[in-house]
Structure 1
């Protein structure tokens, strides 16, 4: 009996061992198959941080033609050592190179984000920004320290008029890091109220850093470049608004960097200011957890020729241009200014307009009175055809509107001369009619 029990026990043990061996040989190829299909995850090594998840990847080409889109979501790992530039041909944020950059560029699906050459909103629907800039005491030290607070200008009625009366969905707010540095608590409190009012009306708010002599820079007009002080500013402001999906960051207004390497990475000092690059400002925003869209503008020359190889290392970036008299240019010339960015990245005209009462006549010198209406209309149609986002200059009296009471739009169909600063002519009627379909 004991011998029989030992034989049964031995048989059971042998069967168990054979089962384990069989399971190993079956599971290994199965696990490899599942891994290859992307259904298993692996603990990241020291070379990887959080993945960049992109809904549609795009393949860039040099002919400014529409990219080929893949409708399968792709996951591109963010490499911890890179040059700060997105690899050529990748709108999905593939990183390359050797210098330090953002440690986490994951884009939450709950905020507006870039998908190829387009923006999509938090619901995954196409988003095209169309609105206006409004300058205020946020960038005017004299006005600010005289007690003229922005909340007096930026009323609920103003934003509701933009959204409901003009069908706008965005407002660009120029800010000064220098006023902020001198009156930080009051500055942020005022900004909070303004952003809340704009968002409540349905407007996205583009916070735009103006670091120049006009905004109070102690360096005057000699240092029109990003500086270390701007990094401090963006860490604070971006951190403060990092949970607001209706805020975007225009990192530096009209930098005058000479050459793409200096534009991207900065370097050196000018009049005691330490110069940084546009990538450094983007990194500062990302370092505090803010994942919203960042907007960058070109350096000296104000066009994007030669940008290939110096792109911002970020998966949620929109490229910007400012244009005034150039709106009279041909569609081909306008396309050329975007260079290889066109049809591959979201584009944004952060400032544009037919400004006839300007102190700088070059802004309207190529816009004849008799053709002004048609030129503005043609440019609006051009932007629509290129899926361009835009904020016009600007929703203030005698530019887009006549006053802050009735918000009656201005018109170019009255006598005016380019450079006459007393003129009340403006393109408001054309812009409003375009947006409202009148």
Structure 2
């Protein structure tokens, strides 16, 4: 989510060396040659539990709130959702949860050990979600920054980002239902630098022996509708063709809102095709994607625009793994995109989402080659 995306949201502020990455890539390629590994077109999904793709769910917010207070005080400056929130959304048919948190809270200083209190909160949710067969996406919600410094610039070496993912991967690598979302909405940097950051983190993850699915976002807030744009630098459509994963076990994460500038800062919606060109890019380059954030207010024009986008995803399940709505969590209050039930009642958008989740599971909805 773009910083200051909505007044009701608590405000968000904005390694390995190349030869080392190449060495790990060579080692993994040798292992793949000896023992076999799925190609990217045959992305292996988590095997534990009963749920199968497509995966639909919600962001569970709270741990990323209040970036003026870092690391901050738990349940005062920020919070974590309850397991009861998970149960409610699973009862609606959701099977994947994106968990935003702040890098500064889970690692108070770069290269430190992970903060045990934060791990306990995350572990509580991860255990509850994955024990039920659902998936959880770890989401460092930092916009490619740490205390305001950009990853790979002079005050924040890429090795610090790789270290974060080394430690997270070691902790969660034995749970295949944990997906690694490298970073929320990188921005304010060159696309080439973000690629270097991402490849370093991927190399660090694989060096631990983790084969969890990795979600790789693009630069410029990772918007699907701006995938070919140049306002943020070299288009993601060009740069992200050079992602390096020795296991080739990653997908692209994009975000897409439905207001005029696709920022999610308005309750108005414009019915315009936002995903088609990106979907075509996925098919052309044999890649898959996940819609990590999207949301809209409950208005007639927004319902219409939302329905059109969900129709598109349901019709292209061959390249879309699923989505997570932005957002839910106990501290949203009257935020118009919130999916958190209010006084025990469903939010209006839930009915529409339930319809499309049910539709997606019917055989007639699977039209992966639709243009």
Does the TM-score normalized on the shorter chain lie above 0.5? yes
Give 1:198 deviation, angstroms.
1.6
Q: Which of the numbers 265, 287, 290 marks the counterpart of 2:207?
A: 287
Give 1:147 deviation, angstroms.
2.8
Q: Tell me: higher relative CO, structure 1 or 2? Use CA pairs within 8 A at least 6 residues apart.
A: 2
Q: Does 1:374 align with 2:304?
A: yes
Secondary structure, counterpart of 1:305 in structure 2? helix
Q: Deviation digits for residues 24-83 of structure 1, max 9, x if unmatched?
A: xxxxxxxxxxxxxxxxxxxxxxxxxxxxxxxxxxxxxxxxxxxxxxxxxxxxxxxxx999
Q: Is the 8 A contact 1:176 1:210 kept in 2?
A: yes
Q: Which runs of 4+ in 1 moved over 4 A?
A: 81-84, 123-126, 138-141, 149-153, 220-226, 257-260, 326-331
Q: Is the 8 A contact 1:249 1:292 kept in 2?
A: yes
Distance between the aligned counterparts of 1:263 and 1:222, measured in 2? 8
Residue 61 of structure 2 is matched in structure 1 by 135
Give 1:153 deviation, angstroms.
4.6
Give 1:192 deviation, angstroms.
1.1
Give 1:385 deviation, angstroms.
1.1
Q: Does 1:159 align with 2:97?
A: no
Q: Is the 8 A contact 2:166 2:205 kept in 1?
A: yes
Give 1:437 deviation, angstroms.
5.7
Root-mean-square deviation (CA, aligned residues, Å) is 3.9
Which of 1 and 2 has greater Rg?
1
Q: Which of the numbers 326, 340, 353 marks the counterpart of 1:393?
A: 326
Residue 275 of structure 2 is matched in structure 1 by 334
Distance between the aligned counterparts of 1:337 and 1:133, measured in 2? 22
Distance between the aligned counterparts of 2:216 and 2:87, measured in 1? 28
Residues matched between the structures, number:
298
Q: Does 1:349 align with 2:349?
A: no
Q: Which of the numbers 119, 124, 130 marks the counterpart of 1:188?
A: 119
Q: 1:114 to 1:346 in 2, by over 3 A?
A: farther
Q: 1:287 to 1:136 in 2, by over 3 A?
A: same
Q: Which of the numbers 320, 329, 344 marks the counterpart of 2:253?
A: 320
| TM-score, length of structure 1 as denominator length | 0.58
Q: Which runs of 5+ in 1 are unaligned?
A: 1-80, 85-98, 108-112, 266-276, 357-368, 412-426
Secondary structure, counterpart of 1:319 in structure 2? strand
| TM-score, length of structure 2 as denominator length | 0.68
Q: Is the 8 A contact 1:261 1:310 kept in 2?
A: no
Q: Which runs of 5+ in 2 are unaligned?
A: 1-17, 33-37, 109-113, 228-235, 263-268, 361-371
Q: Which of the numbers 92, 111, 122 marks the counterpart of 2:47?
A: 122
Secondary structure, counterpart of 1:345 in structure 2? coil
Residue 147 of structure 2 is matched in structure 1 by 217
Q: Is the 8 A contact 1:354 1:376 kept in 2?
A: yes
Q: 1:400 to 1:430 in 2, by over 3 A?
A: farther
